[in-house]
Structure 1
Amino acid sequence: MKPPASPSLAFALLILGTTLGIAGTDLVLPAVPDLPATPGGSAAMAQLVLAAFVAGGCVGLILFGELGARIDQRGLLVSSLVAYALVSLGCALAPSLPSLIGLRFLHGLSGAAAAVFAPGMIRTMFDARGAVRALGLMGSVESLTPALAPVAGVWLLAFGWNSSFYVIAVLSLLVAGLIHLRRASLPAPPPTRGKGSYVRLLSNPVFLRYALSQACTLGGLLIFVFGAPAMMTKALGGSLDDFILMQVTGIAFFIVGSNIAGRLVDRFGPERMILFGSALSALGLVALLAYGLSGGSAPVMIAALFVPVNLGLGFRGPPGFFRAVLASGGDDARGAALVILFILGTTAIGTAIAAPYVTLGLAPLAAIAAAVSCLSVALLLAMQPPRT
């Protein structure tokens, strides 16, 4: 296959597309508390604005994974971004909260394409070493979105609750136009059609080894992050500044880990780094559990113990995702869709289990997150890696 004319430009466009999909939650997040008073509705209904987006995203992952195996992914990516922009505009003009919730389901669905297509395109654009490094850089940029987008969302509130939707609409159309104009710079992975299926991937032990372990490592981290604000403010008597300290520190070390993962893989091999990163992340959560059981509650100590959780994910994330896509046997779109779906499902189930216990202290939340993360290590050890 002929390589794309400009891998750097193509890679930048893919980052922009995936970041916009993430921003659909984080940029809108600050507006949620004001929604009951503005479009009309209850506080509980306002939370469904977030839930509907996630639910739509899950459906979108499966849909675009299937479409991407049959149709030119470049055209699908442009079409999905245009649809994402139009639905964003519809959200901004929604006359009521129930209508906004319905539109947010379509919002999440239409915004899922870039996350599905990007890993396979990156695998086509670069060799194995370059793909791991590219995925690490993409993960670094994406990790900044949950930290920076809410800050921008707060600023946009000065222009109205719907201003973030207008911004997403404009940016999505801009990125769609750039991708359309520079279509030749993006690779066109060959369609798999009847050569692959979700059933085949779900019965592939090598793919499941990488996909499920990836989901458990990232899921364990996210379960802890999602429960940390309530745990720190209600159970430990702290403030959101304590959570921000933990998040900023963790993200910084994740960026470091993900950007040196490629060099470490070159030296030690992908299997060792995937197992080491998974174990390091799990040990960090076990350490947080031990600290909580001992009665510890210092925010600085929690932030310090959270460092290996993020660093471990940084080490294993890029090679782990790459190996999962590689194990899909050319069925990249469906493979990437399932990996992300596993991550969302693991996080959602773990967060639901942890929800009743987040106000009881550090130990219960850390115990649930650690159990999920340790499962990643168990899967890697129990399921043999492929022979290379």
Structure 2
Amino acid sequence: MTVNASPTVMFLLISFGTVLGIAGTDLVLPAIPAMPTALGGTTALAQMVLAAYAGGTLVGLLAFGELGARYSRRKLLVWSLGLFAVASLLSAYAPTLEWLVILRFAQGAFGSGPAVFAPGFIHGLYPADKAPSMFGRLGSIESLTPALAPIAGAYLMTVGGWQTSFLMLAGLAILGAVGSWAYRQSLPDRLEAPEVHQSYMSIIRNGDFLRHGLSQALSLGSILIFVFGAPAVMTGTLGMTIGDFILLQVFGIALFILASNASNALARRFGTERMIMIGTGGLVLGFFLILLYTSLGGPSLSVLVPLWMTANGAFGIRGPIGFHQAIVASRGDHSRGAALVVAAILGITAGGTAAAAPFINIGWWPLALASSLAALLALLCLTLIGSTAKEAGDC
């Protein structure tokens, strides 16, 4: 049985699926310290529970990108959520930490489908002039997950132990799979094979895609590098509390949401390429000011919070329209295009985080330096890689 639904309902369903993939890390995060005691193993092996999920996500992105270019995205979305539910349920009953690591790889791979298919669905549900706004709203919803999911995960730990987060993910994924199947006729599907791109390499060779896709990945990567390293710097090196980190995140996310929802209106008024460039420039400025302040020994949150808000607001301006431009540049091959952008974000974030990790005990500035370099590279991509694209407003 299938039923029809409005674009708004389908947008919420799509958002639900992408949030589940993100929650696969953040909801489980509070349970990690308890796993060595519960399942046996070392603290280092427990960290592999997070790393395996990230590795599986990377593999899943590229696999679903290829599958989405060949087969029905409607059916693939249902399979993705259904298999994610199975992997989550099996993870809850993993007999050892080693088995949990293996299952987490599968969970990450299966859970990456919605992130790949969401851009194509949104592009099909909304006209070209409204799609960037919906990317902004999707980003706003997704940005709340890293802030709220760990709080929910900590509560679930007190209710039923480390398994509860996995059972919650399984239950939510089943709901998502059932909803996706019931409303599948309302989801836009791939009508025909893309005429221009036939492989990942052919998309990468497109200068417009490379320019916008790489600058988008570097821009978001700069934000995530700072976020991933901030708790260790604040609670370890600087002797602050996790509450201070939450405060930093709340202000940053709030301005990101405001800016991302204004992004498309600004682009229509002043031009898409101009706003992407202004937003990226603001991102560079924000991180360079953070780097300057922290290099001089500045520890005050009263200064860091406004600077962090500057970086988040700047990314909010360029994020939705930049991602939309990358998807448009994939010329109909939305699944592969989205997979490449998200995979690049993961790779850049992992590389930047790993590069800053040995110097975290110094303080803020190594983290600020890694984020500043990523943001600067994003600006250089926009400046140095040639574009033949028209303004997004014309697309």
Q: TM-score, normalised by structure 1?
A: 0.97
Three-state SS of the structure 1 residue aligned to 2:94 is coil
Amino acid at match of 2:231: P
1-structure distance, mates of 2:257, 2:30: 25
- 1:143-186 Cα deviation digits (max 9, x unpaired): 00010011010110121110011111111111110111111111
Alignment of 1:290-301 (within 5 A): 290-301=292-303
Name stretches of at least 5 consecutive residues in structure 1 with no aligned partner: none
Q: Is the 8 A contact 2:40 2:97 kept in 1?
A: yes
Alignment of 1:163-174 (within 5 A): 163-174=164-175
Q: Is the 8 A contact 1:228 1:358 kept in 2?
A: no
1-structure distance, mates of 2:331, 2:38: 49
1:175 corresponds to = 176
The number of aligned residues is 385
Offset, 1:266: 1.2
Q: Is the 8 A contact 1:69 1:191 kept in 2?
A: no
Q: Is the 8 A contact 1:57 1:110 kept in 2?
A: yes
- Superposed CA RMSD in Å reads 1.2
Alignment of 1:243-322 (within 5 A): 243-322=245-324
Three-state SS of the structure 1 residue aligned to 2:89 is helix
Alignment of 1:327-346 (within 5 A): 327-346=329-348
1-structure distance, mates of 2:119, 2:94: 34
- 1:171-214 Cα deviation digits (max 9, x unpaired): 11111101111111111123426842101011111100001000
Q: Is the 8 A contact 1:124 1:189 kept in 2?
A: no
Offset, 1:128: 2.0
Q: Is the 8 A contact 2:207 2:387 kept in 1?
A: no
Q: Is the 8 A contact 2:194 2:333 kept in 1?
A: no
Q: Percent identity?
A: 48
Offset, 1:237: 2.8
| Aligned residue among 213, 227, 230 for 2:229 | 227
Offset, 1:88: 0.5
Amino acid at match of 2:175: L
1:122 corresponds to = 122
Three-state SS of the structure 2 residue aligned to 1:35 is helix
1:188 corresponds to = 189
1:349 corresponds to = 351
| Aligned residue among 381, 384, 390 for 1:382 | 384
Amino acid at match of 1:294: L
Amino acid at match of 1:108: G
2:52 corresponds to = 52
Amino acid at match of 2:19: T
Q: TM-score, normalised by structure 2?
A: 0.95
Amino acid at match of 2:344: F
Amino acid at match of 1:377: L
1-structure distance, mates of 2:156, 2:344: 33
Three-state SS of the structure 2 residue aligned to 1:310 is helix
Three-state SS of the structure 2 residue aligned to 1:129 is coil
Give structure 1 regions of 4+ aligned residues with deviation exceeding 6 angstroms.
Answer: none
